Chains A and B, each alone.
Chain A
Amino acid sequence: MIANSAAHFSATRQTPAAPTLIGGVARFARREFRDAIASKWFALYTFAFTVLAVGVSYLSLSGIGSHGFAGFGRTAAGLLNLVMLVVPLMALTAGAGSVAGERERGTLLYLLAQPVSRTQVLLGKHLGLAAAIICSLCVGFGISGGVLAWRTGGVGVGAYTMLVGFTVLLALAMLSIGVLISVCSRRTAVAMGIALFTWLAFVFISDLGLMASSILFKLRVQEIFGLAIINPLQSFKMAVIVNMNASLDVLGPVGAYASRTLGGALPWMLVSSLIAWTALPLGLAVLLFSRRGSV
């Protein structure tokens, strides 16, 4: 009887199918996105970023009264600082929590037992978090852009758009690094700790260290530029400034050197640096995650 029903089973049922590569990634991305936008960190970061961005925009314009001139340069400088502080923190911690959190809660095993590959899970998570962060940034930039439009002539629409674009790139890069940290960490607390340290390193330590070494070792401009561009935050900053000013002269001799020697290749180089910071850590994360011996 068993044999009969088994035969009946295999004869009538088609073999269950695994999802397509893209389909699986999309599933996980959607789930990650939904979880993210429903989570406290997302609400908190979005709120904080929006309030700060609006504040920066508003304050940058205070004091000019009815002048009708939008000093986007100044607003951008303020937004630049804000973005460089908040966005890496947001993306790094979001990424750091992604896999380690699931692993700690024990949900990762259950997900991996489904007909999906580890690559799909990881890419899906990255994509979903990326979409969530982009949403968050759009809200913040959108509202502060509204303030700029309302308070000023809104000069610099193109520059503002590019600022948003570069910020998205920066967020993706930081997210990749966060995901890489997460893949390597067994516990969420450890991942978060490493992410915070990485944030400090990118935001403060590397710049201050480079400042100190440029003074101590009398580094030449090309050396300073070469070392600075390694930091994705510096690449981001230079990309925004190049886009606004068509030159890095505002960054002093080092910027002038970069503009002069690299010319039109400079923006592409900076964007490539950000893209490399997105692709390489993510690729490494995928590799490490699928090579992992345990869950």
Chain B
Amino acid sequence: MSPPRLTILISILATVVRSADGGTGNTPIPVSVVAEMIDNAEQGDAILVPAGIYEGNLIIRKPIVLDGSAGAIFDGLGEGTVIEVLAEQVTIRGCVIRATDEDVTGEPAAIRVIAADATIESNTIDDALFGIDLREAPNAVIRNNTIACKNLEPGRRGDGIRLWWSHGCTVEGNTVRGSRDMVFWYSEDLRIDRNTVTDSRYGLHFMYSHDTVIEENDLRSNSVGIYLMYSNRITLRGNRLTNNRGASGYGVGLKDCDDIIIAGNELLANRVGVYLDNSPSSVDSTGLFESNMVAFNEVGLLATPNTHGNVFTGNAFVENEEPAATHGRGRLVSNDFARDGVGNYWSDYAGFDLDGDGIGDVAYEPRSLFGAMLANEPNLRLFVHSPAQQAIEFTARALPELRPESTLIDPSPLASPPRINSAIAGGGIGGARMAVLAATLLSIAVACIAALGFERGLPAPQTGVRS
């Protein structure tokens, strides 16, 4: 495509648009105007759509670049899918796309691609049931889009980004808020990097999607951070999963997944840090957990009974209410909690490191009576965080015959937490506010004491008779 052609096209369009909206710029324009532009364009042309609100549904059947960065807004008026791509090698860039249908029938999306090699980048999607929906659209790139879904009750929401039978795609730098999932069905060889998903159901959700690398994503306040199901050979590296505490509430959940590598991630303040549901499921496959920070979760590691074949090394399990537990009866002893003499750091480790080699001299074997009771009587979880719970643990310590078997054995626990550097910076913002709060509380005390704590003394006695 040559620059002069583009310029001509724009000038023609500008005339059309101006005549359509009377020059005010805010009057809606039927999206057929854009469809006409596409019809008039050559294959591979870049169409810089002039600023304006284009109403209606657009179908792209020609490989072109649809560039909305001049201020184009595509408004579906609450009906159907806003932009549907049926041709290969289409790029949609810089558009604002909004108002899909609300009814889940037909799964209306802001952008639906049913062709290979699409590039969807730097779009802003709002008020969408589904955000970006790829069906059998391999080798697509979805990059730097911002997606906010319709403000529906969670059960009626659609997915922020969905891939269906779309291999070899790259999904990076997108921000999704308030959707159901960012979900990948039957899609292999993906790169999922630097996305942020918040306030959704599952941050990243994989179904039968193998051979994927997931790096440096930030998944906050979802029900589950990353849920891998029936998906093998997946690497999670440098992701940050915080405050995912919904009904399931896992930082990372694995269901029947083989040969997973989870390394250098941060799993903080989730209900459950890592949940293992029959993973790995095949004989001879493993799960490797290396150098992750698992901290402040209700349960650091939760597994179904008889989970086996996982290796945990160099992780830090810090201040989780329960470091490790199983669903129901069962123990985690068929997993290795050390590799080549390097175990994990457990903040509740009560042992010691006399020889100073950085490895605790006695094995870490957590044996919580309350934890064991919880396994049998889940209702008792009501009593966590209470002195009664402490009393039970204390009793168990005093009466060894009451102590249950340990849930796991780490033969070489680390004496100090390993340094784990996440690529994603966090925290730090509230320090000043916390300091202000602390100062306020102290001032209340001081003010109270100053105002009430002292009685003004007696004045000098007056001489003479009081009148």
Which of the residues B345, B428, B433 comes within 8 Å of A68, measured between beta carbons?
B428
1/0 per residue, CB under 8 A from A, across B111-140: the answer is 000000000000000000000000000000
Q: Residue B458 at the A interface, CB < 8 A? A: no
Q: Residue A20 at the B interface, CB < 8 A? A: no
Q: Residue A254 at the B interface, CB < 8 A? A: yes
CA distance A135 to B430 in the complex (A): 24
Q: Is the interface of B mostly helix, strand, loop or mixed?
A: mixed
Q: Residue A272 at the B interface, CB < 8 A? A: no
Question: Within 8 Å CB of B420, what residues of A?
Answer: 67
Q: Residue A157 at the B interface, CB < 8 A? A: yes
Structural contact, B385 and A81, CB atoms closer than 8 A: yes
CB A178 to nearest CB in B, in angstroms, measures: 18
Q: Residue A146 at the B interface, CB < 8 A? A: yes
Question: Within 8 Å CB of B268, what residues of A?
Answer: 69, 71
Number of A-B residue pairs having CB atoms within 8 Å of each other in the complex: 217
Q: Residue B269 at the A interface, CB < 8 A? A: yes
Interface size on A, residues (CB 8 A): 76
Structural contact, B319 and A224, CB atoms closer than 8 A: no
Find residues 145-201 in chain A having any chain B CB closer than 8 Å to their own CB. Answer: 145-146, 148-150, 152-157, 160-161, 164
Q: Residue A230 at the B interface, CB < 8 A? A: no
CA distance A214 to B247 in the complex (A): 23
Structural contact, A161 and B437, CB atoms closer than 8 A: yes
Question: Within 8 Å CB of B318, what residues of A?
Answer: 63-64, 71
Structural contact, B321 and A160, CB atoms closer than 8 A: no
Q: Residue B5 at the A interface, CB < 8 A? A: no
Which of the residues A29, A144, A228, A245 comes within 8 Å of B382, measured between beta carbons?
A228
Question: Within 8 Å CB of A74, what residues of B?
Answer: 269, 295-296, 319-321
Structural contact, B445 and A138, CB atoms closer than 8 A: yes
Q: Residue B329 at the A interface, CB < 8 A? A: no
Q: Residue A278 at the B interface, CB < 8 A? A: no
CA distance A228 to B380 in the complex (A): 11
CA distance A79 to B383 in the complex (A): 15
CA distance A80 to B384 in the complex (A): 10
Max count, chain B CB within 10 A of own CB: residue among A72, A157, A204:
A157
CB B292 to nearest CB in A, in angstroms, measures: 12
Which of the residues A84, A136, A157 comes within 8 Å of B437, measured between beta carbons?
A157
Please, which residue of chain B has its CB at the minimum distance from the CB of A29? Answer: B452
Please, which residue of chain A has its CB at the minimum distance from the CB of B299? Answer: A250
1/0 per residue, CB under 8 A from A, across B402-420: the answer is 0000000000000011011
Question: Within 8 Å CB of A73, what residues of B?
Answer: 269, 296
Question: Within 8 Å CB of A160, what residues of B?
Answer: 434, 437
CA distance A144 to B183 in the complex (A): 42
Please, which residue of chain B has its CB at the minimum distance from the CB of A76? Answer: B385
Structural contact, B430 and A70, CB atoms closer than 8 A: yes
CA distance A256 to B245 in the complex (A): 12
Question: Within 8 Å CB of B320, what residues of A?
Answer: 74
Can you list 28 residue pairs at the A/B interface with Cβ under 8 Å? A30-B455, A63-B345, A64-B295, A65-B417, A68-B425, A68-B426, A69-B242, A69-B427, A71-B269, A72-B269, A74-B296, A81-B386, A81-B390, A85-B387, A135-B444, A135-B445, A135-B448, A139-B445, A142-B442, A142-B445, A153-B428, A154-B435, A156-B430, A157-B434, A160-B437, A204-B388, A214-B377, A225-B382
Taking beta carbons and an 8 Å cutoff, which residues of A are in contact with B?
29-30, 33-34, 37, 60, 62-74, 77, 80-81, 84-85, 128, 131, 134-136, 138-139, 141-146, 148-150, 152-157, 160-161, 164, 203-204, 207-208, 210-211, 214-215, 219, 221, 224-225, 228, 233-234, 237, 241, 245, 247, 249-256
Q: For the complex of A and B, list the 6 residue pairs with the smallest distance between their C-beta atoms, beginning with the closest.
A: A252-B381, A153-B427, A154-B434, A71-B296, A207-B388, A145-B438
